[in-house]
Amino acid sequence: MTFSALTLEQFWTLLGAFGGAVVVLYILKLRRRQIRVPFGPLWARVLQTEQTSALFRALKRVISLFIQLCVVTLVILALAHPSIPGGQLTGCTDIGEEKKTDVEPSFTVVAVDTSASMNATDVAGGRFNAALNAARRVLLDRIDGESIMVAGLDTRFRPQSPFSTDVDFLTQQLLRIRPSDAGSDLSVTLAGVRDVLSGKPNARLVLISDGALDQPNDRDVEGLKIVHVPIGETGTTHTNLSIVKLHVRPYLDDSLNYELYYEVKNFAEKPAKASLLLYANPTGRVADDFVRRGLLVRTETLEIPANQSVVGFVPNVEYPGHQLMGKLVAVETDGFNDVLPTDDVAYGLVPERKHLHIQLVTEENYYLEAVLFVRENLSYTRVHPDAFRGTEGFDVTILDRFVPSAPIKGNVLFIDPQGPGPSPIAADGTAALPELTEVDTKHPLNWKVSLVDLNIGIMQKLLPKTSDKVIVRSSEGDPAIVVSETNNLRAVVWAFDIRMSDLPLRYAFPVMIVNTLRWFHQEDDALLTGRRAGADWAVPVSTTANTVTVTLPSGVNVPSPVVDHKAILFGEHMGIYSVVDGDKTLPIAGNFANERESDLASRIVGGEKWAPRTNTVYQRPTPTLIDEWLVADLWKLCLFVALGILGVEWATYHRRWTV
C-alpha cells in the first residue's frame, strides 16, 4: 500500500498523536452529569431488564476504545489517500507467462523534468502533475529484475532515490520531487545520468518531460538509451508571454527616481495585449509579498505582435526602497491564454539611495548653493567660515576658499583652498589661464565629464604628495584636481575658484559635484542585473568568514560557503535573496530570464517514445470494480468503513452503556 497524500512518517505521527489522544481522553473520560433521584432501586429494576452477558459487560469499555481507535485509524488512512499498486490485491503483478525464473537484471533512471516550463498549465492539472502521473505509470510498468532510480532534472541531475525494486518506495520518493524555476541543461544532467548508469547492464533513461529542451548532442547521449515520455502535445505552439528583461537604474543626477527598462516577448502565433504592473516593496521576497503588501507604482499597457518582443523604457519611476517587481498580466482575449505564469514575473534591484547631509562653508557662492539645492538626495547647510565648528554630523563638507586652522577629518571637498589653516595639499604660486589637457577619464570623479576646453582664469600650483592622485592636469603639468586619502581625511582638492572659471556654466559642473559626492560614499550606480534562477551564483563578499548566511525567497536562512571572497549559492527559485556580508546585507534578484524555457514548444527528446511493455513481460489485467476502488479510491472505502463502525457504535451505544 502506498500513500499519496502523506508520507509513512507523517502517517505514523498522525496515528500516534490522534490514537494517543483518544486513549488519554478515554482514560480521563467525560464526567457524567449527576442527577439525584428519589428512588434508585426503581431505576435498578428498569435497568435489570437491560442486562446482557457478564462477558460483554466486562468487555464493553475495551470494545468502545477499540472502536474509537479503529475509526481514528481509518480516518487517518483516508487522509493519507492510500492506494494499492496495480494488481497487488488481485495478485496480478506477475502473471502467467510473464513470470520468468531466469530474470535478466536491468537498470532504469526515471527522470522527471522539473524545469520551469513544466509549470505550464496547458495540460489539465498542469504539466508537472501530468509528469508525475506518467512517472507512476512508468514505475508500474517495471519488469522483473529491473532496478529503478527516480530523479528530478533541470539544470542539475537530482537523484531522489537509490536504485530499488520496491515500487511503493519509489512512488513515495517520486512524490517528493517538486518543480523549480530553473531552466534545463541537458548536457549537465545527461552526464549525471550516464554516471549513475555507468557499468550497469540494460541501462536506460526514461525522461518524462515536455521536451522544451535542447536536443542532446551525440556526445551527451553516447552509450545512453533515452526513452521519452512526452508531456503535452508535441509540435504545437503555445500562447505564452514572458518578461525577458527587467532592469531598473537611478538617474545619473542622483535623483531619487528611477528609470526602468523592460523587454516582453510574445511566443505565440498571434498578437497579445498585456499590462506590465510594477510593484515596490522594500522587504518583499516573492511575488506574493509585492502583490499583496507592496505598492503598485506604475502600469504599462503593452501590445506585443506575434513572435516578437516589445522593448520599453519607463522614465521617472518613483518608489520607496530599492526593490521592484514587474508582473505581466495578459489580457485574455480571442483565446489568448498565458499558460506559463513563472516567466510573467521579474525582479529589479537598485542601490539604495542615501540622503546626504552636506555642509557648505563659504562666504557666498550661489553657484555651489544652486547645484546643491536642486539635488533631491541631499540637504545642505550653509555655514560662514567664521562660524565653522568642524565636520561632525555631516556626510560631506565643502570648503570654498577656506581652510580652517584646526585639523579636520571626514569627507571634504576643498575648492581653491586658502587659509587661514594649512591646505591639505601645499601650493606654490598660481598659474594664469591654464589649459586642462590631461583628464583621467577612468576615475569616478571624471565619469561622464569633459574638462578639456574648460576656461580657468587663475589656478593654484598644487604640490601633491606621492600618495595623492592627480586626476586633472594642465598642459603645464599643474594639477587642477587632486584626490588625497589619509587615515582620517578623504579630500578632493580643486585648485581653482569656480567663480574664476566658466565651469558653473557647463553641464559638467553638477555632474562633477554628483561624482564627487558619490565617490565619497562609494555608491555604485552600475546596473544591478538579476541573476538567473537555476544556476550557481558567486556573490562577491568582503567577509573573511568561511560561510555567510543567505536568506532564501521563502524566508529560510541557509549557510553558504565562501570561496575566494565569493559566496557560492544555488538560486533554485525566483525572488529576492539576501546575503549577510558582515554588517551589510546584499540583495540579489533571482529572475527567470530564460527564453528557451519560455518557448513551450514540445518535442521528442532522443529517438524513442515510451510505450508500456505489454508484449514483453508486464501485463496488467482489466481492473475489477474492487480493484479500482482499492487502487484509486481506497480512501472512500476507509471512510465508508469508518462511518459503518460509527453507525454500529451509535446503534449499540445505549445498550452497551446502560448495562
Partner 1 sequence: MSNQPTNLQIRNTFDEEFLKRLEKLHIMAQKVYAGQNRAERRSKKIGSGIEYADHRDYAPGDDIRYLDWNVFGRTEKMLVRLYEEEEDISVYVLVDVSNSMMMGQPPKLEYAYKVTAALSYISLSNLDRVSVIPFAEHVTAPMSPVRGKGQIFKVFDFLSQTTIGGATNSKEAFRSFVHRYKRRGPAIVISDMYEEQGFAESLNVLRYYKFDPMVIHIWDEAELNPNLRGDLKLIDCESGRSREVTITRALVDKYRKAHALFMEESENICRTRQIPYFRASIQTPFDDLVLQIFRRGGVVA
Q: Which residues bind partner 1 (CB under 8 A)?
A: 30, 32-47, 49-50, 653-654, 657-658
CB of 63 to partner 1, least distance (A): 15
> What is the closest distance, in whole angstroms, from the C-beta atom of residue 50 to partner 1 in the complex?
8
Cα gap 154→316, rounded to integer Å: 38
**Residue written as grid cell 551564483:** 537
Cell numbers 536642486: residue: 374
Q: Which is nearer to partner 1, 60 or 443 (CB)?
A: 60
What is the nearest approach in angstroms of partner 1 to the Cβ of residue 49? 7
CB of 520 closer than 8 Å to CB of 490: yes
Residue 654 beta carbon to partner 1: minimum distance, rounded to whole angstroms: 5
In whole angstroms, give the CA distance from residue 204 to residue 606.
12
Task: Work out how close the CB of 119 gets to partner 1 at its nearest, in angstroms, rounded to a whole number.
Answer: 54
Query: Does an H or E element contain 18, and which?
Result: helix 8-28
Cell of 114: 522539473
- Least CB distance to partner 1 at residue 176 (A): 46
442-to-153, 471, 472 alpha-carbon distances in Å: 45, 9, 11
Helix (H), strand (E) at residue 214:
none
Specify the amino acid at residue 492: V
| Closer of 64 and 578 to partner 1 (Cβ) | 64
Q: How far is CA 87 from CA 142, 166, 174, 626, in A?
A: 13, 14, 20, 11
Q: Minimum CB separation from partner 1 for residue 32, in Å? A: 4
- Nearest approach in angstroms of CB 33 to partner 1 is 5
Contacts of 523 (CB under 8 A, 6+ apart): 351, 353, 354
Residue 253 CB-density burial (10 A; 0-12 exposed, 13-18 middle, 19+ buried): middle
Please state, in angstroms and as integers, the Cα–Cα distance from residue 494 to each residue in 370, 461, 478, 615, following that order: 18, 11, 12, 89
Which one, 441 or 658, has the nearer CB to partner 1?
Answer: 658
Compute the distance between CA of residue 224 and CA of residue 146 in angstroms, rounded to an integer.
16
Q: Which is nearer to partner 1, 46 or 505 (CB)?
A: 46
